[in-house]
Amino acid sequence: MFSFLVKRVLAGSLIVVMVSILVYALFWYGPKSPALELCRRDTNNRCTDAKLVDYEQKLGYDNPIYSEYGKWAKGLVSERKIEFGTTEYVCAAPCLGLSYRDRSQVTEQLKDRFPVTLSLALGASTLYLLIGVSTGVLAARRRGTLADKVLVASTLVFSSLPYYLVALLSFLLLTLSTSAFPEVQYVSFFDNPASWFSGLLLVWLVMGLYGATAYTRYSRGAMVEALSEDYVRTAKAKGLRSRTVVFKHGLRSALVPVVTIFGLDVAFLLSGTVFTEAIFDLEGIGKWGVEATYIKDLPVVQATSLILAVSVVVMNVIVDIVYSVLDPRVRLS
Amino acid sequence: MTSVEGNEPYLKVTDLTVRFPTADGLVQAVTDLSYGVDLGKTLGIVGESGSGKSVSSMAVLGLHDRRSAQIDGSIVVGGTEVVGLSEDKMRSLRGNSVAMIFQDALAALHPFYKIGKQLSEAYLVHHKGATKREARARAIEMLDRVGIPQPDRRVDNYPHQFSGGMRQRAMIAMGLINNPSLLIADEPTTALDVTVQAQILDLLQDLQREFNSAVIIITHDLGVVAEMADDVLVMYGGRAVEYGPCKDILTHPEMPYTWGLLSSVPDVSADTNARMIPIPGNPPSLLAPPTGCAFHPRCVHASKVQGDLCRTTLPELLPGVRGENHLKRCHLANPDAIYEAEVLPEIAPEIMEGGLR
Amino acid sequence: MTTDAELPGPEAEAPTGAAPFQQYDEPVAFQDLVGQTHAAAELNPDAEAVLSVDNLRMYFPIKTALMRRTVGHVQAVDGVSFEVPKGGSLGLVGESGCGKSTTGQLITRLYKPTGGSMLFEGADLATMSEGTLKPLRREIQMIFQDPYSSLNPRHTVGAIVGAPLRIHNVVPKNKVLSRVQELLEVVGLNPEHYNRYPNEFSGGQRQRIGIARALALQPKLMVADEPVSALDVSIQAQVINLLQDLQKEFGIAFLFIAHDLAVVRHFCPEVAVMYLGKIVEIGDRASIYSNAHHPYTQALLSAVPDIKQAATGGRRERIRLTGDVPSPIDPPSGCRFRTRCPIAQEICTRHEPPLLQIGKRHKVACHFPGRLGAHPREPITARLLGVDTTGAPDPGASPATDLRQQPGYADTWFDLDAKSIGRA
């Protein structure tokens, strides 16, 4: 098991490195110079060729790609000094560079923003599982009955509404006009757990309920299949209670496919929830990354890509571990 | 039958009918089925897929979905009427006084739980006062009893770490862990190789002798029945078509379907002039069963019956020419004579040479 | 043809639900039905071999997950030699994992063998390239066990049966349909059903479709891998009789792979018994079923439930094999059966017994060959191998040089009574 983990972590690190090189190369060899946007903005759209060259020099695009990538990579482990025009910025390790837009340190921004996204992702994914799996199991146990049909139909209706519409409507109706929920805000869990909880409650519910619809259907399908397995019949024939049969013998097998999808979903939640952050006005990394992409703010895009890559790798390892806990046949020697 | 007059058999099934609603209509899987099994005796239920042999036995354990299956008739297990019994009371019978072992042990054991855990779970559910340690000791004892080497080590293995034969042994151990009085074995050896099958059949016979339980063995293999059963019940299209003592049915079958089953399988020691005579056509649809005798569309002896009785009238299950114990559902007046004169010479020429016993 | 039983008669009833195209005939009379069946197939001792397999081996490498390093081999087939006579049948029996199915797959070249040769009409299938193999693929066809998964559910029966005709371009495009209908009729299906899908047929009918597909290219050899074991008992006999018809009519040779010893006995005049990748005994029907000399063959036969025996009272004493089949990754030294053999001695751990011809058409690989209960006390192979009775090297003995195992049978063989090579 341990050697397996080491292998997975090594392979994962390789993937993360490759992603960072890829993002760098995309900027470097992309059709438009990343400096152009910045130059235009600073000069009110009167960016001349000479000015552009000047900007490119400032951002280091006149150097070879490997030396710039090398500088960036080195900054991850040691302090780095970045000259920008006449000003010199000191960027402490791990340094992810300076944002082109406001010269802010990406690492510091990340420290502020990632907890917001993490809080959203944790709350929402917990609800995915709690609501999705429990309704899925319920529907599977009552397969073919009215309850099953109503559940499946309502998940379909709900999930065919656009997410931003659902989010925006609940924001407007439930907080602004009726105050049924406390005001949406982010307070650090470590500062005040109660406000952390109350400030994000509505967001979690909106994200969780919306995302859970898919989990209702996944887990219903997986559960229907599991309940038709021979070993479930054996469990019944032993005289076990129906509850034991369903949860101990059925659900454990049904969770295996659900866990796979869940792992990937969590990874994507961790890399930012753009609509949610925009509608509820939360400063997470999703909105930040999208805005940075518009203006080709390489250090910020690089940072958010890394978050996604690391999340995918970490979640995959976690999924593998959960698999091996659930299913002894894949337990790794 | 083997039951003594006035002494009820341990399992007594009377006029059992099982229906399932499906999208295509009501499927009548079992119709008016009656049989009995005494303690210490084995009943073999023979039939092809769709004959209702498994459905009827699962009804004994109440394993059908209560919401959809419609079960009529009576099933008495050790004096308790099972049809219509509450789920709680049914549960206390299942795996306790009535146990079932299934065909494919790899699929029938949970792949995620250790063998020992699955066995002790079966023990604990019917022994509320027992501790986990006691249950584990009992599991090891049972694994040892069914001939699994190093049971104290093997108890912590998962099913996939067992070979096919060992899994079936573990399955049997699980079925017998609460000393059931009735054991239903549904195709217990079908997925196994012959030498392993022989081991498992020997084991089942030993265990039956030891525990004096009533055993039902469901199979499509007449060879297995021949070795194991005291009585045989042949099913076709959801009905009993022949029922009686095993030896009598195999040597003097009185129903053309049973003849067909016997003539379809060759014997390892048969004369090389023996033929494999198939049953023409395919098993009937349970949605729209044939009129009259369900077997008549495939029956090659129907022409020996007056008029079109076979097509219009369902024959009753009545004693044939060989005594009260041997029941058959067929219009043929002298089936034994036809079998000896026509069928036997083709499938067992060597018996004819030596003259019929 | 014996197919009338399945074809709908003029007064056939309407489809009845579950199997929509199951149609009933006016019942045939019993004697007519008997007339359409066959007794056990007979051996033609003069037939030449259509396929001659010599020392065939297949080792599947076992690789580690990450580095793809080979850490061992599954010795699925290890030095198997046999012949299939023209228009005849050889049965291959054994328990799961003995390598019988792999052997069949090697002959149809689903795998390229690790070693050995497979001479088919003078050409060696084992070493041939894919390109030169293609015309020969027409001549060797396969029938599969599972009639449910071996037919593409999205193709019509006509497309399935016609595919080999189109691939190998054997008939003009506009003749494919009529040829398909002919084939369906040959295997006892209604030729008008060519545009139906596999799920509209019962298991037995699907197996007939698979047979029609295999028949399309008029092969000389058919490899039938458990062709009836997935079918209901009453249907098995239909399919076996159909295969016997086809063999008689078209002179097709069969390599018949099955675990059911009784069915093999009926269909095959010659049988090879495999254990853990090797042939332990091979011979004609009488040699194997009435005169088996290998303890494994004897154990297999004694394990088969015998209806007549049981019906007439009591049952035969069984040879109980203990334990499980060892892993083909690390097979036992010497004789592979020794770990479960009731009569194994020291020599069995040291030397692999040669497949020795002990009768006109009978070979056995055992140091102590003999009829049940009459196995010799001393290894009869000791002198041939140049060792003493425990298998230790014997400086005085000179090992026989001609122990190489050939596919067919020699005119001279080892006489068990005289303990020397000679002609009986």
Q: How far apart are CA A326 and CA B13, in angstroms?
A: 42
The total of structural domains in chain A comes to 2
Whether residue A234 lies inside any domain: the answer is: yes
With CB atoms and an 8 Å threshold, state whether C304 touches B268: yes
For position C70, what pLDDT does the model report? 80
Q: How is residue A223 written in tokens?
A: 């559960």
Q: Which of B218, B268, B275 to mutate to test the interface with C (most CBs of C within 10 A)?
A: B268
Q: What average pLDDT does this structure show over A33-57?
A: 81
The total of structural domains in chain B comes to 2
**Among the ranges given (A172-176, B1-5, C352-356, C377-381), the one the predictor scored with the smallest mean pLDDT:** B1-5
Q: In chain B, which residues have their Cβ closer than 8 Å to the Cβ of C240?
A: 276
Taking phi over 0 as left and psi of -120 to 50 as alpha, with beta for the rest, B180 belongs to beta
Handedness of CA B187, B192, B195, B199 (dihedral sign): negative
Whether residue B234 lies inside any domain: the answer is: no
With CB atoms and an 8 Å threshold, state whether C235 touches B262: no
More confident residue, C243 or C424: C243
Examine the fold and report which residue of A105, A133, A165 is the final residue of a domain before the chain moves on: A105
Q: How far apart are CA C88 and CA C251, in angstroms?
A: 8
For position B243, what pLDDT does the model report? 96
pLDDT > 70: percent of chain B: 96
- How many angstroms separate the first and last alpha carbons of chain B? 22
Helices (H) and strands (E) in chain C, counts: 13, 14
All chains having 3 or more CB pairs closer than 8 angstroms to chain A: B
With CB atoms and an 8 Å threshold, state whether A234 touches B61: no
Q: Are residues A288 and A154 in the same domain?
A: yes
Candidates C288, C291, C253; CA nearest to C274 is C288
Q: What average pLDDT does this structure show over C224-232?
A: 89
Inter-residue contact B260 to B275 (CB < 8 Å): no
In the predicted structure, residue C323 carries a pLDDT above the cut 80 = no
Examine the fold and report which residue of B177, B201, B218 is the final residue of a domain before the chain moves on: B177
pLDDT > 90: percent of chain C: 50
For position B234, what pLDDT does the model report? 96
Q: What average pLDDT does this structure show over C139-150?
A: 87
Mean pLDDT of chain C: 85
Q: In chain B, which residues have their Cβ closer than 8 Å to the Cβ of C27?
A: 280, 296-300, 302-303
Whether residue A2 lies inside any domain: the answer is: no
Mean pLDDT of chain A: 88
For position C2, what pLDDT does the model report? 38
Q: Are residues A186 and A149 in the same domain?
A: yes
Q: What average pLDDT does this structure show over C338-361?
A: 92
In the predicted structure, residue C212 carries a pLDDT above the cut 90 = yes
Q: Are residues A145 and A38 in the same domain?
A: no
Q: How far apart are CA C110 and CA C102, in angstroms?
A: 9
More confident residue, A287 or C4: A287
Cβ neighbors of C149 (< 8 A, separation 6 or more) are none
Q: What average pLDDT does this structure show over B141-156?
A: 92
Q: How far apart are CA A232 and CA A224, in angstroms?
A: 11
User: Which residue is listed with tokens 């005040």?
Assistant: A192
Residue C23's pLDDT band (cuts 50, 70, 90): very low
For position C67, what pLDDT does the model report? 62
Q: How far apart are CA A269 and CA A286, in angstroms?
A: 9
B227-274 pLDDT, tens digit per residue, is 899 999 999 999 999 999 999 999 899 999 999 999 988 888 878 888
C97-108 pLDDT, tens digit per residue, is 899 999 999 999
What's the CATH number for C49-273? 3.40.50.300
In the predicted structure, residue B148 carries a pLDDT above the cut 50 = yes
More confident residue, A61 or B76: B76
CA distance C38 to chain B (A): 6
Q: Are residues A85 and A152 in the same domain?
A: no
Q: How is residue A135 written in tokens?
A: 């309704």
For position A35, what pLDDT does the model report? 81
Q: What average pLDDT does this structure show over C356-373?
A: 92
More confident residue, C11 or A7: A7
Whether residue B54 lies inside any domain: the answer is: no
For position A296, what pLDDT does the model report? 83
Handedness of CA B73, B78, B80, B82 (dihedral sign): negative
In the predicted structure, residue B187 carries a pLDDT above the cut 80 = yes
More confident residue, A60 or C362: C362
Q: In chain A, which residues have their Cβ closer than 8 Å to the Cβ of B100?
A: 237
More confident residue, C335 or A294: C335
Whether residue B151 lies inside any domain: the answer is: yes
Q: How far apart are CA C56 and CA C79, in angstroms?
A: 5
Mean pLDDT of chain B: 90
Q: Which of C98, C234, C273, C317 to mutate to test the interface with B (most CBs of B within 10 A)?
A: C234
Q: What average pLDDT does this structure show over B317-335?
A: 91
Whether residue B27 lies inside any domain: the answer is: no
Q: In chain C, which residues have their Cβ closer than 8 Å to the Cβ of B284?
A: 16
In the predicted structure, residue C313 carries a pLDDT above the cut 80 = no
Q: What average pLDDT does this structure show over A18-47?
A: 82
B100 shares contact with chain A (CB less than 8 Å): yes
Inter-residue contact C264 to C240 (CB < 8 Å): no
Q: Are residues A62 and A114 in the same domain?
A: no
Whether residue B223 lies inside any domain: the answer is: no
More confident residue, A225 or C72: A225
**Among the ranges given (B321-335, C211-225, C407-421), the one the predictor scored with the smallest mean pLDDT:** C407-421
The DSSP element (H or E) to which C80 belongs, if any, is strand C70-85
Candidates A95, A36, A37; CA nearest to A306 is A95
C161-171 pLDDT, tens digit per residue, is 999 998 888 88
Candidates B128, B127, B109; CA nearest to B118 is B109
Q: Are residues A139 and A239 in the same domain?
A: yes
With CB atoms and an 8 Å threshold, state whether C17 touches B250: no
Q: How far apart are CA A234 and CA B122, in angstroms?
A: 10
Q: How is residue C358 written in tokens?
A: 């002990």
Examine the fold and report which residue of A105, A131, A165 is the final residue of a domain before the chain moves on: A105
Candidates B328, B46, B238, B2; CA nearest to C307 is B46
For position C13, what pLDDT does the model report? 32
In the predicted structure, residue B10 carries a pLDDT above the cut 70 = yes
**Among the ranges given (A14-23, A90-99, B150-159, C120-129), the one the predictor scored with the smallest mean pLDDT:** A90-99
For position C6, what pLDDT does the model report? 35
Whether residue B268 lies inside any domain: the answer is: yes
Q: Are residues A185 and A251 in the same domain?
A: yes
For position C231, what pLDDT does the model report? 85
With CB atoms and an 8 Å threshold, state whether B193 touches C24: no
Q: Which of C233, C241, C244 to mutate to test the interface with B (most CBs of B within 10 A)?
A: C233
Q: What average pLDDT does this structure show over B18-45?
A: 93
For position C18, what pLDDT does the model report? 32
More confident residue, A244 or B4: A244
In the predicted structure, residue C19 carries a pLDDT above the cut 80 = no
Residue C17's pLDDT band (cuts 50, 70, 90): very low
Residue A85's pLDDT band (cuts 50, 70, 90): low
In the predicted structure, residue A8 carries a pLDDT above the cut 90 = no
Q: Are residues A72 and A191 in the same domain?
A: no
String of DSSP letters for C151-202 = S-TTS-HHHHHHHHHHHTT-S-GGGHHHHHHHHHHHTTS-GGGGGS-GGGS-
B44-70 pLDDT, tens digit per residue, is 999 988 899 999 999 999 999 888 899
Counting Cβ atoms within 10 Å, is residue B307 exposed (0-12), middle (13-18) or buried (19+)? exposed
Q: What average pLDDT does this structure show over C374-392?
A: 87
Q: Provide the chain A residues 292-331 that lie in CB contact (below 8 A) with chain B.
A: 326-329
In the predicted structure, residue B350 carries a pLDDT above the cut 50 = yes
Whether residue B184 lies inside any domain: the answer is: no
Q: How far apart are CA A107 and CA A95, in angstroms?
A: 6
For position A27, what pLDDT does the model report? 81
Residue A214's pLDDT band (cuts 50, 70, 90): very high
Q: In chain C, which residues have their Cβ closer than 8 Å to the Cβ of B341?
A: none
Q: Return the CATH number at A242.
A: 1.10.3720.10
Examine the fold and report which residue of B148, B177, B206 is the final residue of a domain before the chain moves on: B177
For position C16, what pLDDT does the model report? 32
Q: Are residues A152 and A265 in the same domain?
A: yes
Examine the fold and report which residue of B177, B211, B236 is the final residue of a domain before the chain moves on: B177
Q: Are residues A60 and A199 in the same domain?
A: no
All chains having 3 or more CB pairs closer than 8 angstroms to chain C: B
Domain ranges of chain C: 49-273, 309-422
Residue B348: domain span = 251-354
In the predicted structure, residue A264 carries a pLDDT above the cut 80 = yes
Candidates C301, C308, C298; CA nearest to C259 is C301
Residue A179's pLDDT band (cuts 50, 70, 90): confident
A233 shares contact with chain B (CB less than 8 Å): yes
In the predicted structure, residue C11 carries a pLDDT above the cut 50 = no
For position C401, what pLDDT does the model report? 62
**Could you give the ipTM of this predicted complex?**
0.87
pLDDT > 90: percent of chain B: 63
Residue A72: domain span = 17-105
Whether residue B161 lies inside any domain: the answer is: yes
Residue B147 half-sphere exposure toward CB, CA atoms < 13 A:
18
Residue C402's pLDDT band (cuts 50, 70, 90): low
Q: Are residues A87 and A130 in the same domain?
A: no
Examine the fold and report which residue of A105, A133, A161 is the final residue of a domain before the chain moves on: A105
Q: Are residues A97 and A113 in the same domain?
A: no
